[in-house]
Structure 1
Amino acid sequence: MSASPPSQAELAVLKHLWNAGPQSAREVQDAISADTGWSYSTTRTLLTRMTEKGLIRRKDVHGLSVFTAKVEKVSMMSRMIREFAANVLDMDGPLPGTAFASSRLFSEEEAAALTRLLEQADEAERGEDEA
């Protein structure tokens, strides 16, 4: 997987794939074009680049390319939240994972998993500081 976080465009595709599951390029285009305004060729180009970056996986099914998210939603969101908190907000303390419990992006189980990941990251950072 790419060391850099996904761009806003890549995140739009990932959010769709996390929600919808495996999709053809046409299905992705049909689902997100109203929000993005992208042409089909733009969507295809982005899917190709995301595959190269390791964010999504392409599989040929009956002659049709089908795309799935390769990165797991909760881990990616945890990483992005920690990076935002550190790089934008200059926070080095515990992150309140419960703040994301009302997000439409996460189920209750995913919100709980996100909270655990954020707490584990905070505990690991404190352990490094003490060493």
Structure 2
Amino acid sequence: MSIPSITELSLLKALWKQQPLSAREIHESVVEELNWSFSSTRKTLERMLEKQMVSQQTLHGVLVYQPSLDKVNTLAAFAHDFGRRVMEMDAPLPVNMFTGSKLVDQRELAELEQLLRDWPTDQE
């Protein structure tokens, strides 16, 4: 799995919270965080479509987007990459670092813990 960039992750998080969303709705969700133009949001969505991170359909005459990447699997890959590349850890990150997150519920937290614990050592 390719790991989303920080900006791609911001757009995915907006979609994981509510979907489907139009490009304008996604932009409004992330504009304060990313402080960029609507055209930057659209360009990022185009790249994410090419990478198959999101899917696109027409709903009531409006193009809308849905995440193609599973939230928990993506967060596990992101956390694994952070632990390995940034923190230089061979062991998985402790799941308690995600406690209190508004992004995952208890079920997803348990799933995330299992994914991090069982992460293949040869997967990069």
TM-score by length of 1: 0.84
Identity %: 36
2:48, 2:54 within 8 Å by CA — same for their partners in 1? yes
Question: Residue in 2 aligned with 1:82?
Answer: 80
Greater fraction of residues in helix? 1
TM-score by length of 2: 0.89
Does the residue aligned with 1:42 lie in a helix, a strand or coil? helix
**Greater Rg over alpha carbons, structure:** 1
Give the Cα separation in 1 of the matches to 2:19 and 2:88.
35
Does the residue aligned with 1:54 lie in a helix, a strand or coil? coil
Cα RMSD for the two superposed structures: 1.6
Alpha-carbon shift at residue 99 of structure 1 (Å): 2.5
> Per the alignment, do residues 45 and 112 of structure 1 end up closer, same or farther by CA in structure 2, a change over 3 Å counting?
same
1:5-84 pair list within 5 angstroms? 5-84=3-82
Read off the aligned partner of 2:86 and give its amino acid letter.
V
1:97, 1:115 within 8 Å by CA — same for their partners in 2? yes
Alpha-carbon shift at residue 34 of structure 1 (Å): 2.3
> Per the alignment, do residues 33 and 94 of structure 1 end up closer, same or farther by CA in structure 2, a change over 3 Å counting?
closer
Does the residue aligned with 2:55 lie in a helix, a strand or coil? strand
Give the Cα separation in 2 of the matches to 1:78 and 1:34.
26
Unaligned runs of at least 5 residues, structure 1: none
Between 37-46 and 94-103, report the one with greater CA deviation.
94-103
1:116 partnered with 2:114: yes
Does the residue aligned with 2:118 lie in a helix, a strand or coil? helix
Aligned length: 122
1:104 partnered with 2:102: yes
Unaligned runs of at least 5 residues, structure 2: none
Read off the aligned partner of 2:2 and give its amino acid letter.
S
2:83, 2:92 within 8 Å by CA — same for their partners in 1? no
Per-residue CA deviation, residues 40-99 of structure 1 (Å, 9 max, x unaligned), is 211111111111111111111232111011001100010111111111222112432232
Between 66-75 and 33-42, report the one with greater CA deviation.
33-42
